[in-house]
Homo-oligomer: A and B are copies of this chain.
């Protein structure tokens, strides 16, 4: 069996309280005492038990990150991974560890949602529903929403301006003189899909350009589907001279289709992506895209969640992080 605090106490002659303090708050113990205790601990290979500690303190210093998106996998998702990374950094700085969970870990045999693992709060990313949030909060589990906004009391949501970002992209294309602008729209969650779609339509209309359904394709956001979709668009007689793609992966597919069709970018075809993911600078020429402040999104969500865990009252707010057009070489 592993040694417990009591074994150490016996061996060094101090009480278990003092041993506890030597590890949890070393400054409350004389240096001499501390050293004796450490020596005894080492001899016994003693290490404080994290679970027992969490039990009595009533907290774990862990937070959970849960993603609800069709476009798995989480960590490989070029949009979510920088957010996750940012959450990770922020948590680590504040002394929290991060749990990455699926919704599987949120179901009890009785169907109720709950946190089956040891965590003090949860970041729900993607299209989580109100029920989950309600269940979790009834159990006093602090919750923050990421990349999703739900209209609920005391609920903090961190999102970005989907509509504005799309508008930025299309405006830019119009400014560059394009009149036939295609749309390659990824099948994201309804809110994201619709916002970007509306941004595209509204800007066209604002400039008196008509919306041509033949220039619009809804696809899964994979390179393969984007290549196929773009190829179709580019083979049209009156093909578009520019493409707005609702994420960078799609844009890259479109670029590939164009390059393979012998078109020069941006001379023959202009392309704008969305997200400013790492990929956008990998491809050559580098992609003009809409930057979403993913680092801010992650940091804000984590900070607010931690504040809540540490006692600040939750408040209702939708925080929209900035979007910005990054003009590179494809327009």
Contact = CB atoms under 8 A, between A and B. Distances in A.
Interface of A: 2, 22-23, 26, 38, 41-42, 45, 47-48, 50-52, 54-55, 60-62, 73-76, 81-82, 84-85, 88-89, 92, 97-102, 104-105, 108-110, 112, 114-119, 138-140, 223, 252, 255-256, 259-260, 278-279, 281-284
B45 A139 contact: yes
B55 A23 contact: no
A92 B66 CA distance: 13
Rank and list the top 4 A-B pairs by shortest CB-CB distance, nearest first.
A47-B114, A38-B110, A45-B138, A26-B109
A100 B119 CA distance: 13
Contact of A284 (B116, B256, B278): B256
Nearest to A26: B109
Contacts of A82: 76
16 contacts: A23-B110, A38-B110, A41-B110, A42-B112, A45-B138, A47-B115, A51-B60, A62-B99, A73-B85, A73-B88, A75-B75, A92-B104, A98-B100, A118-B118, A256-B284, A260-B284
A23 B107 CA distance: 11
A140 to B, nearest CB: 6
A100 B88 contact: yes
Nearest to A278: B76
A87 to B, nearest CB: 10
A149 to B, nearest CB: 25
A140 B47 CA distance: 11
Given A100-B100, A110-B42, A284 B282 contact: no
A54 B62 CA distance: 15
Given A54-B51, A92-B102, A138-B45, A282 B117 contact: no
